[in-house]
Structure 1
Amino acid sequence: MTIFGQFTYPEISSQAEALQAAWGQLEQQQAWIQSYLLHPEADEIIFIGSGSSYYQALSMASTCRTWLGKSAAAYPSSELFLFGRQAMPGHRHYLVIGVSRSGESTEVILALEAVRELSNVTVAGITCYENSKLAQIADCLLSPLGKETSTVMTKSFSSMTFMMQTAIAKASGHEPWVREMEQVLQADAGVTAGSDSFIRNLVAQNDFQKYIYLGMGTAYGISLEACLKIKEMSYVWTEAYGTLEFRHGPKSVVEPGTLVCLLLSEQARPYELKVAQEMQAYGAFVLLLTAKQGDDTSFADAVLEVGGEALSDEARSVLYLPALQYLGYYTAMKRGVNPDTPRNLTQVVII
């Protein structure tokens, strides 16, 4: 007899251990930071991935621009493979970092193989599998406890994002950012446990028909990933947008029965909260994920406080992931579908 969620739930719940292992592994891969993130010839860093890995790439690139002060971009792997000239004009030197949980995704392999022999390109990667094709063709950071049995990425996403952000913090030479990542590491277990009970109750007490995720900056990639978790695990209708961009047309879909989940930043807090209030006026149930609740968040229907008010928005983004992953899991369980093996999906996408 199949037990629904028997893999997904423990994998979400064990992400603090995966982050800890990634932290320890990075201590052993300090040379990677020097060789790649601090590559003296690289004018731009390009992160590539597919699906969840592309959304990681967006958050990694955002963190890289902010903390490393270097030009960085993210593209779907297929974009680099099939439209390489548009992604990489020939007058610059690029570091291309492939992002893949399995290290076997056809598109990321094809993209790296297409560019790695070019004189103006250096390639590297990040994965959870040390013997993968990606690890064979590129020098990779390795998240040793990111390996998963379930189809959907959860702790792999969290640990790989955390690992790359920590690598970027170390490459920056700015010790406070390294300390921020260490604080995230120390807080993650408590945040994961608190998010579990909070989201379990939220899903049990409500019946949402639509899910909208909003985020800006580094949280934009996280919001896209949150959207994908609901689609993959529970097959419900959902979208993700930049917070203020949602007001420019897409808000027309908001009505009673709509969950609007805002990944609140501190940098744009007052502006983002105005958007949330507007959506509530249209009938949405507003869920805020925030460092700290206060008088300005009291209007919301639900508020999950993850802590880390003193952290940068970049570092705090990983602490939003447990709640977003549990939201997919508990929604699937309530709908009677198995989040371990979503229909039409496999762990590795092969062309």
Structure 2
Amino acid sequence: MNEPGAFTHNEIISQPSVWAQALQTYHAQAKGLTQFWQSQPVDQMVFTGCGSTYYLSLTAAALFQTLTGIPSVARPASELALFPDLVYPPDQRLMLSVISRSGETTETIEAVSVFRERTGGRVLAITCDSQSTLAKAADIVLAADFAQEQSFAQTRSFSSMLILAQALAGHLAGQDVKMLLSSLPEICDRLLSEYHDLSRQRGEAEKIDRFFFLGAGYQYGLACEAMLKMKEMSLSYSEAFHPLEFRHGPMSMVNENTLVVGLISDEAHRQEVVVLNHMRRLGGDILAIADFAGNEINALGEVIRLQSDLPPWARSALYLPNLQLMAYYRAIARGQNPDRPNNLAAVIKIDTFR
């Protein structure tokens, strides 16, 4: 029998090689995706998923709108299935991008059915199972079967599907995706090695009893995913907020037993540093993740430096691996098995949805 967490640990550290496969997969399908995209005009993109993949959708929608100029929104699949009138504007040519590791989640499949009934629009699936119900229901599929996991918590599946979404948005916007994203596996490998001990120390810190993950723009969905990893793997109190929103009430929870993790953006780093400095003065420990750290970021305390030299949209996946490791080590230190988080299953199904 495997040690508790063995699958999760292996899946986290396998990400460099799995990311390389994700990029190869995208490049092999790039021509077909271009033809699919150009075959019909699109007025709005709607991204959806459940749990982790809903958070992935938040980042994917932000990437897509910024790069392509096409208005893009993200909603939980259950909202699309149960409250479609709140999401689908009339007389708009819509495309639904559905993100799901298994391709079998009940709300996800229902969201596709309702979308077809309401709009007749096209469906793009991003999944880790090319033979799933979702894949068969979609018009076109980006599949990362090689990223599938034995653990319940998503790690490499999330980041691999994110890379596929990054590549899609960049490619359709005319970016040189092959050149820009090719360095991601190597950078990921360096980050996992260089900051392994820091990730472990932060995860095993006994004095910390609450975690807050702050991110804006592309990073908000990633902050939410980091929050979920910490919560589901280790059963720790963990929340995610936009940095400036954190000051409107939630910062009342900050004390000397708090770790505040800032996913620093290029665009708003000055404001984000102000917030993190404020939390430090309130007694919180600070961990910042930034591409390059100037004096004002270095002064915050511990910093994970991505040093990617990539544009913001191209580096999104790099924020995650060390935070996944931190959650893993937190779980092990607390006697939890991150392979099988409490009360969870790999695929969530509902017997009577409609």
Normalization by structure 2: what TM-score?
A: 0.95
**The residue matched to 2:74 in structure 1 has which SS?**
strand
Matched-pair contact (CA < 8 Å) for 2:259–2:285: yes
Residue type matched to 1:336 in 2? G
> Mapping of 1:115-194 within 5 angstroms?
115-138=115-138, 139-175=140-176, 178-194=178-194
Change (3 A) 1:38 1:307: farther
**The residue matched to 1:116 in structure 2 has which SS?**
helix
Distance 1:125 1:210 in 2: 35
Distance 1:204 1:68 in 2: 42
Matched-pair contact (CA < 8 Å) for 1:36–1:124: no
Alignment of 1:350 with 2:349, yes or no, is: yes
| More displaced stretch, 233-242 vs 295-304 | 295-304
**The residue matched to 2:80 in structure 1 has which SS?**
helix
Matched-pair contact (CA < 8 Å) for 2:19–2:184: no
Matched-pair contact (CA < 8 Å) for 1:7–1:150: yes
Matched-pair contact (CA < 8 Å) for 1:48–1:74: yes
Matched-pair contact (CA < 8 Å) for 1:36–1:95: no
How far off its partner does 1:203 sit? 3.0
Matched-pair contact (CA < 8 Å) for 1:23–1:163: yes
Which sections of structure 1, spanning at least 5 residues, go unmatched? none
Distance 1:206 1:179 in 2: 43
Distance 2:63 2:36 in 1: 16
Deviations along 1:183-233, one digit per CA (max 9) or x if unpaired, are 324422212222323211333455311000000001000000000001110
Alignment of 1:209 with 2:204, yes or no, is: no
Taking only the aligned residue pairs, the percentage that are identical comes to: 34
> Mapping of 1:218-229 within 5 angstroms?
218-229=218-229
Distance 1:148 1:44 in 2: 32
Distance 1:118 1:204 in 2: 49
Distance 1:255 1:37 in 2: 50
Map of 1:95 onto structure 2: 95
**The residue matched to 2:63 in structure 1 has which SS?**
helix
**The residue matched to 1:29 in structure 2 has which SS?**
helix
Residue type matched to 2:107 in 1? E
Map of 1:232 onto structure 2: 232
How far off its partner does 1:40 sit? 3.2
How far off its partner does 1:178 sit? 4.9
Matched-pair contact (CA < 8 Å) for 1:257–1:284: yes
Matched-pair contact (CA < 8 Å) for 1:18–1:146: yes
Matched-pair contact (CA < 8 Å) for 2:94–2:119: no
Residue type matched to 1:23 in 2? L
Residue type matched to 1:344 in 2? N
Map of 1:334 onto structure 2: 333
| More displaced stretch, 141-150 vs 271-280 | 141-150
Map of 1:306 onto structure 2: 306
- CA-based RMSD of the aligned residues comes to 1.6
Residue type matched to 1:223 in 2? A
Which sections of structure 2, spanning at least 5 residues, go unmatched? none
Residue type matched to 2:288 in 1? L
How far off its partner does 1:250 sit? 1.2
| More displaced stretch, 32-41 vs 341-350 | 32-41
Deviations along 1:84-124, one digit per CA (max 9) or x if unpaired, are 11100222010001100011111110110122245541112
Distance 1:70 1:178 in 2: 22
Matched-pair contact (CA < 8 Å) for 1:5–1:329: yes
How far off its partner does 1:57 sit? 0.4
Aligned pairs, how many?
349
Matched-pair contact (CA < 8 Å) for 2:234–2:331: yes
Residue type matched to 1:212 in 2? F
Map of 1:23 onto structure 2: 23
Distance 2:4 2:146 in 1: 22
Distance 1:302 1:206 in 2: 17
How far off its partner does 1:37 sit? 4.3
Residue type matched to 1:6 in 2? A
Change (3 A) 1:119 1:232: closer
Map of 1:57 onto structure 2: 57
**The residue matched to 2:182 in structure 1 has which SS?**
helix
How far off its partner does 1:143 sit? 1.1
Deviations along 1:241-281, one digit per CA (max 9) or x if unpaired, are 01111111111111110000000111111110000000000
Distance 2:119 2:211 in 1: 45
Distance 1:224 1:89 in 2: 27
Residue type matched to 1:121 in 2? G
Change (3 A) 1:40 1:111: same
Change (3 A) 1:335 1:38: farther
How far off its partner does 1:125 sit? 0.5
Map of 2:270 onto structure 1: 270
Map of 2:314 onto structure 1: 315
Residue type matched to 2:349 in 1? I
> Mapping of 1:227-266 within 5 angstroms?
227-266=227-266
Matched-pair contact (CA < 8 Å) for 1:38–1:171: no
Matched-pair contact (CA < 8 Å) for 1:95–1:124: yes
